[in-house]
A = this chain, B = another copy of it.
Amino acid sequence: MPAYIKEIVHRNLNAARDSAVSLWIGLIVGVPVALAEVFYLKGITVIYDLRAVLGNWTLIGMPFAGLLIVYLMNTFGKDCNKGINHIFRIVQGKEHSLSLRVIPLMILTIWLSHLVGASVGRATGVIQIGVAIALWLGHMLHLDNDKIRLTVSGLAAGFACLFGTPITAIFFSLEMFVSGALQYKGLGAAIVSATVASLVAKACGLVPMRYDLPLNYTFSYIEFVKIGLLGICCGWVGSFMAWSLKFSRKQLKKYFPNPYRRVFVSSCFIAIMMFLCWHGRYSGLSRDLLDTAIAGQIDMPWDWVLKIFFTILCLAAGFQGGEVMPLCVIGATFGSYFGNLLGLPVPFSAALGIAAVFASGTNTLVAPIFFGTELFHGHYARYFAIVCALSFYCNHNRSIYEKQRRLRS
């Protein structure tokens, strides 16, 4: 047999084996992760239904819920206490497992945080649940050598459920760990797990987040420049968010070394401020701020500043939750306000703001472009690409994920 035929056979066999493993990992990870995420995310929906009845009285519970969360995390936490950073360390080969207890702990503490109106998101929970299940399944099935593929596919499956955006999830799982490179090792498994998970989530009644944009926008060169300017400023906003999150964590830790005192004092302050600032307008997910911005309204031009303020305070105080949804809200409110200043259509600039601030806050490029594209039914992909590229370029290589490896110089 000539050497090149041998090489072809060898290569094809290897590729087939590799694809089979990816397919297998994607399938076994996708379904259980999706079911867990459905439980977690539906719980949050129930909590918001409850809060709609209770009103802002739940803010009173903030200091006590904060104490309980810190107690739970400190007592049962172990790995989970390090949050997302722990997952970065797994991918970097510095840690080897993520305890399954992270799942009930995350669900409970994030539910509590949302119940009392902390300004946090849901992504941290989604990611940790996805990765914990994927790693555990991998361990059960003797796939321990495939840590990266397992982690990436668990993350992709989880993120796909969050907004119903499988393509974003695939790229986010490839991009999140190393800024400046795509972690292609997990591509095959991520494609399968994200697809399966979003199908399962949809079948279980999770509604994908989707918005309609007017389809009649056309832009001249001057507006092109304005769109570019919006992208650059969104880069600074996301960068500021990432920086101030780190800064406030450090400062709060310095002034209140005791975590119980830290969470109690801060949340008394947060609860009072939240109530004073338009009766809890910035508490919880603030999805209504997102909706009104995309609908084209700008009530209060300082919305994005206050949303940043409350989000970093809540996270630094010790409440659990993610940063992705706050980034979206900040992006939408900043985008609508600044786009309006520039003379761009408000719903359109709110949409661009969401993708661009997501890009700069998470220090990823391709995922946010598809995030914009998927949220808005595939329209205006080009403009999402422009603002995300500029925003990513102008974020000073900062990230809300402290342990993210940076290949960019």
In terms of DSSP, what is the predominant structure of the interface of chain A? helix
Contact pick for A390, options B191, B221, B365, B385, CB 8 Å: B191
User: What residues of chain B lie closer than 8 Å to A247, measured between beta carbons?
Assistant: 4
Pair B167/A386 contact, Cβ less than 8 Å: yes
Quote the shortest CB–CB distance from A88 to chain B (angstroms).
Answer: 18
User: What residues of chain B lie closer than 8 Å to A381, measured between beta carbons?
Assistant: 370, 373, 378, 381
- In the complex the two chains form, what is the Cα distance from A386 to B170 in whole Å? 10
Pair B407/A181 contact, Cβ less than 8 Å: yes
Given A19-B394, A390-B191, A184 and B407 touching (CB < 8 A)? yes
**How many of chain A's residues have a CB under 8 angstroms from any CB in B?**
41
Closest residue of B by beta carbon distance from A11: B396
Given A19-B394, A373-B381, A182 and B181 touching (CB < 8 A)? yes
Pair A182/B185 contact, Cβ less than 8 Å: no
19 pairs from A and B in contact (CB 8 Å cutoff) = A8-B243, A11-B396, A12-B396, A15-B396, A170-B389, A180-B182, A180-B184, A181-B181, A181-B182, A182-B182, A185-B408, A191-B389, A191-B390, A191-B393, A370-B381, A373-B381, A373-B382, A378-B378, A378-B381
- In the complex the two chains form, what is the Cα distance from A407 to B8 in whole Å? 20
Given A180-B181, A373-B382, A374-B382, 16 additional A-B pairs, CB 8 A: A8-B243, A15-B396, A19-B393, A167-B382, A185-B409, A187-B393, A188-B393, A191-B390, A191-B393, A370-B385, A373-B381, A378-B378, A378-B379, A378-B380, A378-B382, A381-B381
A366 within 8 A of B: yes
Chain A residues 318 to 359 lying within 8 A of chain B, measured CB to CB, are: none
Quote the shortest CB–CB distance from A49 to chain B (angstroms).
Answer: 31
A40 within 8 A of B: no
Closest residue of B by beta carbon distance from A190: B389
Closest residue of B by beta carbon distance from A175: B182
Closest residue of B by beta carbon distance from A383: B378
- In the complex the two chains form, what is the Cα distance from A378 to B382 in whole Å? 7
Chain A residues 1 to 52 lying within 8 A of chain B, measured CB to CB, are: 4, 8, 11-12, 15, 19
- In the complex the two chains form, what is the Cα distance from A291 to B19 in whole Å? 34
A310 within 8 A of B: no
Q: Per-residue 0/1 for A184-200: is the Cβ within 8 Å of any B Cβ (1 yes, 0 no)?
A: 11011001000000010
User: What residues of chain B lie closer than 8 Å to A409, measured between beta carbons?
Assistant: 185
Quote the shortest CB–CB distance from A160 to chain B (angstroms).
Answer: 13
Quote the shortest CB–CB distance from A275 to chain B (angstroms).
Answer: 31
Closest residue of B by beta carbon distance from A390: B191
- In the complex the two chains form, what is the Cα distance from A11 to B394 in whole Å? 12
Given A390-B191, A393-B191, A396-B15, A184 and B382 touching (CB < 8 A)? no
A282 within 8 A of B: no
A392 within 8 A of B: yes
User: What residues of chain B lie closer than 8 Å to A8, measured between beta carbons?
Assistant: 243
User: What residues of chain B lie closer than 8 Å to A379, measured between beta carbons?
Assistant: 378
- In the complex the two chains form, what is the Cα distance from A180 to B370 in whole Å? 19
- In the complex the two chains form, what is the Cα distance from A50 to B394 in whole Å? 48
Closest residue of B by beta carbon distance from A392: B187
Quote the shortest CB–CB distance from A396 to chain B (angstroms).
Answer: 5
User: What residues of chain B lie closer than 8 Å to A19, measured between beta carbons?
Assistant: 393-394
- In the complex the two chains form, what is the Cα distance from A370 to B373 in whole Å? 12
Quote the shortest CB–CB distance from A218 to chain B (angstroms).
Answer: 12
Closest residue of B by beta carbon distance from A168: B385
Chain A residues 205 to 230 lying within 8 A of chain B, measured CB to CB, are: 221
- In the complex the two chains form, what is the Cα distance from A72 to B393 in whole Å? 43
User: What residues of chain B lie closer than 8 Å to A4, measured between beta carbons?
Assistant: 247
User: What residues of chain B lie closer than 8 Å to A11, measured between beta carbons?
Assistant: 396
